[in-house]
Structure 1
């Protein structure tokens, strides 16, 4: 449970760092860079003090990273520009908790007690209220449907990724082995890095094709209109002064540290002892914790509904702590 709370706080900080680095490098490049840094840091630990890529649970952790880091992460980046951050995060965070709870119940037989389900529901209700957008984004219906599909896919990926990690820990326990949380995070991050490389390669291929088409049509190069010449469409306003890759690396490092290094390590620690539905419900409150930080760093102001949602979410988390 402490691990889940630590994950929430780290992911809350990570959202700001991820947004900053994505604006500088583009989302695919920023994701690849942070995972590369994370694999170096976690890999050093795993191969010096941990189990490296050994252990009975490696296969499950790798698939967990493929589904959670890979499918869940890529789908999230597709949902954000189509739905906007509030609606996309609402679907992904609440949906992933429901998928985790249902998936673990159906596959692993872990059933939450009625009082636990009550506090999970209270927590997710708070998240839904706190992240409730003012209205649907002003995009064509086709883009809205596509964004919703990507968001639900991301929720399924992240929720199933948590369940797969729980399956890995069960396999390790049955084999009478031990794995430390940083090593399990490393084994997941390896798969995520592979997916990130594929995503960048696909993006680069599309960029080259668009450039060739632009030259034939005599229109401007699409890559010139995107951050750092990546050819990507940004979800938010950009500062031209930020388009310097060397300046992005402190943000990339902070993104890696708070996300896949410390954040996922705490997440794996929590999953080693606590059902995925409970862990994912607590971690779902991370966007609510990001908002006060955004008020400080970005001078943004939340709606009054945010405060009501935050109170309900905190009450739900306290209830979950008291029931464990």
Structure 2
């Protein structure tokens, strides 16, 4: 009863737009929590792949996460369908298929090959300049009204990012990885960065700006819209991943010795041993991580929040070391710092 009362009180506070926020530092705290949760999601994903296949893991967590997001929506908002627009559902669904589906399938393959630190570095640092470049192309061809890529300084930041990533990924800086595994992991990481940058970045911005007025929302309305968009995208990722898993399992029945198919799925997954890591991964990343991200953006400039979230590749390092994944060299760490500095600089310059 006390929990129900608390939920009702929280719901009434959110609805009362006239009430000033009681904790003005809350959005900054949410941004820090988001960064920690995304980092925790990365290392738990890596640990989960020790017990089950990456495709299985992604499919299972995308069943859990949308349910959690919808529970938040039902608890704290009276009109749950307020920001659910059928005319853009399939567009968001397709965006999720690219981001949470294709992108995260590749993400888990990269985790298995090069670990959480290098994977997160590739995805978070490459996705930003990639998304800006694609947006610039859409702008030039008349599909977007404006482009975020407007200054030579952004190109300089992109070069800094790529230089840092190159230093961090140099084979001699990662002697614990075989060259074949390193290059394979880099390839999967770049596909994941494509999914993140295009599916979660460019497509969502294009859809919401062209077909909705979500970018004009503030406060709890923006929070609710963000959760609604995320849940719809996760459904797209879940269906795409489920179809891929079904296709892989079907193919393996006729080709049980196929090394390429076995690299993508694991029919002998140990769900009992990996369930705790799977649940932690689902809650830390696409569920509570996404929730904190939307919370952080409540009446707070994105130019302040995004640079904090962009430090995820650095925050993940102590987690990876604690999990005994690796002991990175100082040069590799310096490359990571340089890449993250480039991302923060690009984000701040773009928002300015």
**Same fold by TM-score greater than 0.5:** yes
CA contact (8 A) 1:127 1:288 kept: no
Q: 1:189 aligns with which of 209, 224, 234?
A: 234
Over residues 16-40 of structure 1, what are the superposed CA-to-partner deviations in whole Å (9 max), with x where a residue is unaligned?
A: 1111222122212211111111121
Distance (whole Å) between structure 2 residues aligned to residue 122 and residue 32 of structure 1: 35
Distance (whole Å) between structure 1 residues aligned to residue 152 and residue 202 of structure 2: 20
Q: 1:63 aligns with which of 85, 94, 99?
A: 94
Q: 1:173 aligns with which of 210, 213, 216?
A: 213
Count of aligned pairs between the two proteins: 294
Over residues 110-166 of structure 1, what are the superposed CA-to-partner deviations in whole Å (9 max), with x where a residue is unaligned?
A: 2334445544544554344334442784439xx96x766654433322211111111
**CA apart distance, 1:311:** 3.7
CA contact (8 A) 1:184 1:265 kept: no
Q: 2:167 aligns with which of 120, 124, 129?
A: 129
Distance (whole Å) between structure 2 residues aligned to residue 88 and residue 290 of structure 1: 10
Unaligned runs of 5+ in 1: 215-221, 231-242
Distance (whole Å) between structure 2 residues aligned to residue 90 and residue 176 of structure 1: 32
Other-structure match for 2:193? 155
Is 1:300–2:326 an aligned residue pair? Answer: yes
Is 1:198–2:229 an aligned residue pair? Answer: no
Matches within 5 A, 1:79-98: 84-85=114-115, 92-98=123-129
Q: 2:148 aligns with which of 111, 115, 124?
A: 111
CA contact (8 A) 2:158 2:346 kept: yes
Distance 1:125 1:63, change over 3 A: same
Matches within 5 A, 1:46-61: 46-47=73-74, 49=77, 50-51=80-81, 54-55=84-85, 57-61=88-92
**CA apart distance, 1:286:** 3.0
Q: 1:229 aligns with which of 242, 257, 268?
A: 268
CA contact (8 A) 1:64 1:188 kept: yes
Matches within 5 A, 1:5-84: 7-47=34-74, 49=77, 50-51=80-81, 54-55=84-85, 57-78=88-109, 84=114
> Comparing 4-13 with 38-47, which one deviates more in the overlay?
4-13
Other-structure match for 1:238? none
Distance 1:312 1:296, change over 3 A: same
Is 1:164–2:203 an aligned residue pair? Answer: yes
Over residues 258-312 of structure 1, what are the superposed CA-to-partner deviations in whole Å (9 max), with x where a residue is unaligned?
A: 211133345567899759xx95x87665334322211123273110113322443
CA contact (8 A) 2:102 2:195 kept: yes
CA contact (8 A) 1:282 1:317 kept: no
Distance (whole Å) between structure 2 residues aligned to residue 138 and residue 302 of structure 1: 16
Over residues 78-130 of structure 1, what are the superposed CA-to-partner deviations in whole Å (9 max), with x where a residue is unaligned?
A: 5566x644776665444322220112222232233444554454455434433
**CA apart distance, 1:189:** 0.6
CA contact (8 A) 2:126 2:161 kept: no
- Report the aligned-residue RMSD: 4.0
CA contact (8 A) 1:165 1:271 kept: no
- Residue 74 of structure 1 aligns to a residue whose secondary structure is helix
- Residue 300 of structure 1 aligns to a residue whose secondary structure is coil
Is 1:312–2:351 an aligned residue pair? Answer: no
Distance 1:152 1:259, change over 3 A: same
